[in-house]
Amino acid sequence: MSQGVHDFIIKHNLLNEVQTVFVAVSGGPDSMALLHYLIKRREMYGIEVEAIHVNHQLRGAESVDDEQYVRKFCTEHNIPLHTKKMDVQTFAAQNKTGTQKAASELRYQWFDEWLKNRPHSCIATAHHGDDQTETILMTLVRGGNLLVPSGINVKRILQNGFVIRPFLGITKEEIEHYCKREGITARIDSSNHSMKYTRNRYRQQIMPFIKSENPSVHIHMQRFQEWQRDDQSYLMELAEEAFKSIVVKKSEQSITISIEATERLRFPLQRRVIHLILRYLYGKNSPSSTSIHIEQIIRLLNRQEPSKELHLANGLFVYLSYDCCHFTLKPQIKEEQPLVPLTVPGKTDTAAGTFTSYYLETSDIPEDQKHMLHLDADKVVFPLSIRGVLPGDRISLRGMSGTKKVNRLYIDRKVDSTVRKVWPLLVDGSGELLWVPLLHRSKSAVITDQTKRVLVLVFVPCISI
């Protein structure tokens, strides 16, 4: 193991210009082996070695015992130890994230703070080759963005320094053998056996099979991660240059590109230019995966989408206009039908047909037909109005949970694009969409056994749908 780790450190220049290495130590076999390895070779590398320990306070007495074990080891080996307690559960609840992700975020926040006033220092973590294989497999199976390099980087750059991973070239088995040979009786985290964690399921169910097929798979996966990172970095540089040649207009919340100029780019660059646009507009709110979005936008640019617009995650709207494709976090302002008050009771004319409305007692409700809408008059939010479709319009599903995009409804029902522009929608005084005539009714203000008065609306179209 020792020679393999040394070769890895030299190959990747992990300790160049480093004077002090702070080893992140949990008390487990991996981190204790890393601490022990660097202690024995600090003179050879010309470094000082210190330990840092994070108590996540997730396992009660076990967490306390872990810290005591690390403290005892550091005292015996005359190694300075720095500890930090973190309230992971509160952070996870406040940020609506998983426990493991919350622990990682807090840990790296502290790592960055720790390095702030410590030049020529770095933090070392004990991620190993099996961790690398698991991470890559998890990312691919989860369906992550294919343009973002997967896996664990040899060196992670932080705002105030960096983290190195000297063990990425060796396996868990090699680490355990090293601990046994050196007499390191490390702590075992009981949560490592819990099948509720995704990584543990991969580790216990998938990794044994993969390693039986190829015991050196970690070497291939490490090479894959490094080559993919280098290739993606180079292609992204080309994409950034290509982006400058296609952008027509750019602001904080919107970007407009030339479709013709984009089509002249090689396909790999088209994907990456779109990735750059999404990353710019989404910022910190970027969805975890945008590969599907990239494919949708490519189809839109090639006029393969049934519509000329897309509504993506987090309020991003993409639409075509002549030779331009617009990406915006602001709703598109379109020429639209004016908001027309609905006469109740009475008649209201629109470009697509006529609405008639009147009140009835519950005993006189006519048979339900698709051109009619029956509402509980006492539950309706007045005034009622008629307007055309707007970007992002949704209607609640009567008899079902959730909502449906009106534009998707039009597509599913194969409504011609010319009809969509003039087809009237019924909205209430709060702006809620109540009815897409002949197509869909909202579940708002439905008739119940307690209904005393009914509002009936009839729409007679003058065009075919």
pTM: 0.67
Starting at the edge strand found earlier in the chain, the sheet holding 48-55 runs: 81-85, 48-55, 20-24, 121-124, 162-164, 155-157
Tokens 């020792």, residue? 2
Measured CA to CA in angstroms, residue 431 lies from 110, 231, 390 at distances of: 47, 50, 12
Residue 274 contacts residue 146 (beta carbons within 8 Å)? no
Residue 228, burial from CB neighbour count under 10 angstroms (0-12, 13-18, 19+): middle
Measured CA to CA in angstroms, residue 291 lies from 143, 272, 274 at distances of: 8, 10, 10
Residue 465 contacts residue 438 (beta carbons within 8 Å)? yes
Measured CA to CA in angstroms, residue 81 lies from 53, 60, 71, 78, 449 at distances of: 7, 21, 7, 9, 71
The residue type found at 143 is G
Which letter does DSSP use for residue 327 in this model? E
Measured CA to CA in angstroms, residue 110 lies from 32, 127, 159, 164 at distances of: 20, 18, 12, 15
Work out the number of other CB atoms within 10 angstroms of the CB of residue 376.
Answer: 18
Work out the number of other CB atoms within 10 angstroms of the CB of residue 455.
Answer: 22
Work out the number of other CB atoms within 10 angstroms of the CB of residue 451.
Answer: 18
Cα distance between residue 187 and residue 184, in whole Å: 10
Q: One digit per residue, pLDDT tens: the chain, 465 residues?
A: 889 999 999 999 999 999 999 999 999 999 999 999 999 999 999 999 999 999 888 888 888 898 999 999 999 999 999 999 988 888 888 888 888 888 899 999 999 999 999 999 999 999 999 999 999 999 889 887 888 888 999 999 999 999 999 999 999 999 999 999 999 988 887 777 778 778 889 999 999 999 999 999 999 999 999 999 999 999 999 999 999 999 999 988 899 999 999 999 999 999 999 999 999 998 866 665 578 889 999 999 987 765 678 888 888 889 887 688 999 986 544 445 678 999 999 999 998 999 999 999 888 787 778 899 999 999 999 999 999 998 889 999 777 778 899 988 998 888 877 688 889 999 999 989 999 999 999 989 999 989 999 999 999 999 877
Tokens 């202690």, residue? 39
Rg of the Cα trace of the chain? 31
Work out the number of other CB atoms within 10 angstroms of the CB of residue 73.
Answer: 21
What is the structure's pLDDT at 321? 74
Residue 201 contacts residue 195 (beta carbons within 8 Å)? yes
